[in-house]
Amino acid sequence: MRLLTGLLFALCTTLCQAATLTIDTGQGKRSLTTEQLLGRADARDLSVPDDVSYHRTMSYRAIPMKALLDGVASGAHLQFTALDGFTAEIPASLILDAHGAEAWLAVEPPGKSWPSLGDGKPSAGPFYLVWLHPEAGHIGTEQWPYQVASIRVLGDPASRFPAMRPAPGLAANDPVTKGFAVFQRNCITCHTLNGQGDAKLGPDLNIPHSPTEYLRDDMLRTLVRNPQDMRHWPQAKMPGFNRQTLSDADLDDLVAYLKHMAGRKAQP
């Protein structure tokens, strides 16, 4: 029994120390281990007030995110993919020049796990994108990806997923156009649309039916604001979007986009 316990402990220690982050900026992939990241000269202790995932002040050992993006242009687009398939789509400009918002990659130390995210849930590690002064860059809650496994430079969602695009010719200030931007910022992390997208957590929002086709507007707004107000489901993963994260105007635009796309179904 003691031998078995020792082997399990050694295996756990090895796994905890084996976390690797893959970064692909289009010039070849790099793999960085926990130890390599924590050993960097620019690693520092960071205090993050009102952490989005833990809902309190948290302390981390972290690296400036922009320091890991050498050669990436401000106009590029980044995709952060988590261990569970969650994908965060973040314009590189938010990290490279966010007008006061600072992006940091928090690194979970081996053998010193961060707190669990909830009953039966793991921590936010091994890698977690956190922000200082997020309000300066209008950083939303979906732009704090945790359990990050890889970071890639890709085309923006509108170019990668043409079936998500609204009808051509709409003005930039049209509610549908603005709603598409809201969708890319807040929904594409978990949902596909018309079968397109990299997300794996939530259902498609247009195939076979748009939620605008089976929910009244007020019910859809309730679902977005707090899913548990619509139906109690302990295993539900969808977060609620308060007015600080998603304004009423943004929600109106999102509903306009979803209604518009209900008339533009495209089978995958």
Give the span between the Cα atoms of 180 and 158, in whole angstroms: 9
Give the span between the Cα atoms of 19 and 127, in whole angstroms: 9
Regions of the chain with pLDDT less than 50 = 1-16
Q: Please report which helix (H) or strand (E) contains residue 178, including its range.
A: helix 175-186
DSSP state of 115: P
Q: pLDDT by residue (tens digit) across 89-110?
A: 898 999 998 678 999 999 999 9
- Please state which of the four CATH numbers 1.10.760.10, 2.60.120.10, 3.30.70.100, 2.60.40.420 is assigned to the domain occupying 158-262: 2.60.40.420
Domain boundaries of the chain, sorted by first residue: 20-155, 158-262
Structural Rg of the chain based on CA atoms: 20
Q: Please report which helix (H) or strand (E) contains residue 135, including its range.
A: none
Q: pLDDT by residue (tens digit) across 139-153?
A: 888 899 999 999 999
CATH no. of 20-155: 3.90.420.10
Give the span between the Cα atoms of 81 and 63, in whole angstroms: 18
* Residue ranges with strand state E in 12-76: 20-24, 29-33, 44-48, 58-64
Q: pLDDT by residue (tens digit) across 197-236?
A: 888 788 999 999 999 999 999 999 988 888 776 776 666 6
pTM here? 0.76
